[in-house]
Every structure is written in structure tokens, then in C-alpha cells.
Structure 1
Amino acid sequence: MTISLRWQSRAGRELHAEQIGDLASLCLKLEVATHPKPGLVSQIDNGAHSDMDAELLCRSADTLTAFFRELAVAGAEGAGMSRLRAIGVAAERAMLAATAGVNTHRGAIFGLGLLCAAAGFRSALGLRKSLGDVVSQRWGDDILSGPISLRSHGAVAARRYGAGGARAEAADGFPSVYDIALPALRAARTRAPDDEEAVRIQTCMTLIANVADTNLLHRGGPEGLRFAQASASAFLAAGGVGFAEWRARAVDIHHAFVARNLSPGGSADLLAMALFVERLER
């Protein structure tokens, strides 16, 4: 497929790709800097994770910056899925080397990485499509037909329980980002206009309540997923971050997740992706 690029120089592509990569890494760090998120790592505690903390997650995010930039350049140059996948594999190796083998951001490498590539592609061609549409239309078929990771807990849970998982989410243009997370971000700002952390917590709770998170399925099976969704739904039904004592209630839910060893890592990735998309599409 021949593509006519708007940018005339590689230097121009790399400059914009640097901004895209930096933003992707920042959004991963914003997710970490959010507390309380049920079962998830923050600067306050490690949630349901015994093998990672906020410092490790931020180190991982810094390590991935260069690869997010590379994915944006590849997208701008019209790369196919095979090239994007190769960059993703290299990113995962670098992540594991930086974290002594801990899987901090495998899901984010896939989802956020595709959005970085889409941002580069969209800018190069001057398109007005959403990033999700770019991913679905340009790489969707190859995402579904590509090799399946046998190491990913989320992928194993998706196969075991018949959930769509990250591949289906990406191939469909990230409906959980566009139909759930972004509306939640906008609505939360009317409830907490001066508290961006509260906005992120409300959005995370909305994702947990509405997404079949394969990380929850891996850790708790269908019962764990139902518990997580019911807990988040009850928080939202009580007013979410608009409720006067919302933070104490969110902390209680967080502790309940930790007690059950539940961690909605897929929702955490989707939150970071939504923050990224919002800033590029605002």
C-alpha cells in the first residue's frame, strides 16, 4: 500500500513522535499516581501486587518512552502490523530487563503502543479520524489474525472464559476507551472540577464496573469479576466522587480487592489509554 505522507522529513516525524512517546509515558505515570484504585499499585501502597511498587512502574514507563516514540514514527511511515509487533516485542524485552522480569506494562505496550502508532499515522496523513478508528481500520484484521501470546495471563483468561480481551478491544477501535472511559472523564469533571485525581478514580471505577477485565478473571474467575463489578457499581450508584465521603468508601473497596487478591490491570491500562486519547483528541 502506497501512502502519501504530509510530513516531508524524518526529522519532523521524529519530533512529533517524541511528543507522542512522552505523553504515553506520562499517562502511565498518571495512572500510578492515582489513589485509591481498587487493588492497584499507587504511591501509597502496592495494592494486590507483591512483586511491584510505584517506583518500579514509573521506571518501566520511562523505559517504554523510546519504544512509544518508535511506534509513532513507524505509524507515520505507514508501517504494517509486523513492524509494530517487532517494536512491541523489543519493548517488552526492555521492560522485563528494567524490572528484573516483572510484567509491569505488557498490556499497555500493546494497547497504548497501537494508539501511539495511530497518532503518528493520523498526523502524517492529516486525517480527522479518531485514533481508535485508525487502529481498527488500518491494523484490525492483522491484530485478530496475529499470533496469540501464551504468556499473557489476560490472554489465557480470555480464552478460558470466552472474554474478548485486549485483541478484540483493539481490533474494534477501543470501545471501552471511547464509549466508557472518555464519557466518564468528561462527566467526572462536572462532579470534581478541581480534582484531577478524583476524575481519574471515577473513570477507573466506571471501567471496572463495565469491562470484563481479563486480569480480574485471571485472579478471581467469574466470581471475582462479579465482585469487582458490583463493588465499583455500588460506588458509582452512591454518587461516586460526588459523595461527601467518597474517598473513605473508595479506600474500603481498595482494601476489599486486596484481601481477595484482585487487581483490575486491564482497567488500569484503559485508564492510561483514555488519558492519552483525551489529550490528543481534546
Structure 2
Amino acid sequence: MRSREDETLARAAVAALTRQLELAPKPGLPDPRDLDARSTRRDHRALCWSARALEPGLVAMAAAARRIGEPTRELRTELGTIGRSTEHSVGLAGGGHRGAMWVLGFLVAAAALEPRATGNDVTAAAKQIAAHQDRRAPRRPSRGSSISAKYGAAGARGEARAGFPHVRDALDALTVARDAGASEPCARLDALLTIMSTLQDTELLHTAGPHGLRHVQGSARGVLEAGGTSTDEGRQALSALDDDLHARAWSPRGSGGLLAGALFVDSLPVMVSSPAAAA
């Protein structure tokens, strides 16, 4: 049975995804400038609308975790079933967010299993859930899993089974940027670039191949090495990367979903102390 806590977690996850969508400029990713969809082929307003369709499924995932109470194979299988149903609902609302749903689903379930956990404890709980096989998963491989197998990339499944290392990296990047006095948008952009600098993004491997992936990783590192998005030099490097990816029609979609996951986990300390979470 759903509870206020489940609804609070689901709303926080959708809010994290919305904050990711609102961030700009995001190199190669949809942002508020994409009113005409540009090379991303995703209208920003439509993506914000379809993000809302994730909430019922995320509530159901949190409720399943709370009911089962342990990171078991049963829970993993139920999360997969709910996720496929939610993917259909999101498709009816306009589509998108498949990668973010995968990330947020595991993290919401982990937060429901460990109500007082924050940061790395949440990703550790998600790792325990992801360690199990989804017995009802379709046998036909997805494009992402095919690309992972072709290039030896971890992919979404490997990321979850490793305990979302790029979510943890993004959380560290948020802390470093904030401690250095960066504005919140700059801290979030630095976190995104931190993910992009090392992630073996299967979407990029599909569209750009290994050479293109290395090009994007190196360019993201270049922005950070220039001082990050809080500095003039870093902003110039970010603008150049943004222009480059849009010109090539390359999109690091995996990084966008992982940033949404990091922003969700980052919000958990606030949620724990809020009246809604404690009720």
C-alpha cells in the first residue's frame, strides 16, 4: 500500500529530473533553449510534461521496496515489471526519460528500503537490488545492452550493479563546487561534466563510436580543467563543447539520467528532516 513517504520520494525524484531538464547550457542535451527541439529532437516543454508521468510508477516502486523490505530477487523482478509499465505510460505522455527512469527507479527503491540513508548508503542499497536478475525481463536485447556487449561498456545495468559510481562522482563534484563558492547551477553543470568525462555512454557509442566518445570525454575534462563553469575560461570551453555536440548531433543521454539520480540523492538529507518525510 502506498504511503506518504512513497509519494514524497517519487515527487522528489521527478523534481530532480525536472531540475536536470531546466539546467542550461547542457552540451548535447535538451534544455530550456530547445523550444524548437534543435538537434536533440526533444522539445524541452514536452520532456518536462512527460516527466510527470514517471511519478505513479516511482510511487509503486517505493511501495514495493517498503512492502518487501529487503533487496531480494522478488523486489528486483517487481521493479522491472513496474518500470516497463511506467515506460509505456511515459510513452503515451510524449516519451523520453528511459535512462533516467532506470536510475531513479533503483534509487527511489533503495531510499525506501533505507529511510534514513543518504549519499553513498543509498547507492549501496541500490547495488544490492541490482545484483539480482529480473526474471521477467524480455529476452530480446535492448540497443543499450547490444552496444554494451559490442564495446565492453558497463551500460545502465553495469552502472547499477556497481552501485552507481557516476552518481557518487557527481555528488562529490557538487560538494567540491559548492565549497568553492560556485552557484548552484554551476555546481550542477560541473557535476554533469564530471559524469561526462568518464562515463562510457552507450548512446554516444551508438552514434559516435569509441573515437567520438573519447572526444566528448576529453572535452568535458577540458571544461573542468579550465576551472569549471564558474570561471570565464571554463564557460568559454563549455560553450565550445555545447556548439560542437549540437553541430554533430551527439547526445550524452546517459549522463543526463545519472545527473538526475545524483540530484535526487542530494535532496535526501533535506527530505529526511522535512515534516512531510517524518509524517
Verify same fold: TM over 0.5.
yes
Relative distance call for 1:63 and 1:151 in structure 2 (3 A) is farther
Alignment partner of 1:275 is 2:263: yes
Tell me which residue corresponds to 1:182.
Answer: 171
Taking the aligned partners of 2:130 and 2:196, their CA distance within structure 1 comes to 27
The 5 Å alignment of 1:33-72 reads 33-45=22-34, 46=37, 48-50=39-41, 52-72=42-62
- Partners of 1:149 and 1:57 in 2: CA distance: 29
Structure 2: how far apart are the matches of 1:29 and 1:47?
19
Q: Distance in 1 between matches of 2:39 and 2:58?
A: 27
Q: CA deviation at 1:242?
A: 3.5
Correspondent of 2:243 among 235, 239, 255: 255
| Equivalent position of 1:114 in the other structure | 106
Q: Look up the match of 1:82.
A: 77
Structure 2 residue corresponding to 1:232, chosen from 211, 220, 241: 220
| 1:94 corresponds to | 89
Counterpart in the other structure of 2:126:
135
State the Cα distance separating 1:146 from its structure 2 match.
6.9
Shift of residue 110, structure 1, vs aligned partner: 1.2
- Residue 281 of structure 1: CA displacement? 4.6
Quote how far apart the aligned CAs of 1:239 are.
Answer: 0.8
| Alignment pair present for 1:206 and 2:194 | yes
Count of aligned positions: 262
Aligned to 1:218: 206
Partner amino acid, structure 1, of 2:147: A
Counterparts of 1:219 and 1:177, CA distance in 2: 23
2: distance between equivalents of 1:62 and 1:226?
34
Structure 2, unaligned stretches of length 5 or more?
69-73, 271-279
Residue 120 of structure 1 deviates from its aligned partner by 1.2
Identity of aligned residues (%): 34
Comparing 67-76 and 126-135, the one that deviates more: 126-135
How far apart, CA to CA, are the structure 1 residues paired with 2:20 and 2:46? 13
Q: CA deviation at 1:47?
A: 5.6
Q: Which amino acid aligns with 1:184?
A: A
Normalising by structure 2, what TM-score? Answer: 0.87
RMSD of aligned alpha carbons: 2.1
Q: 1:24 to 1:38 in 2, by over 3 A?
A: same
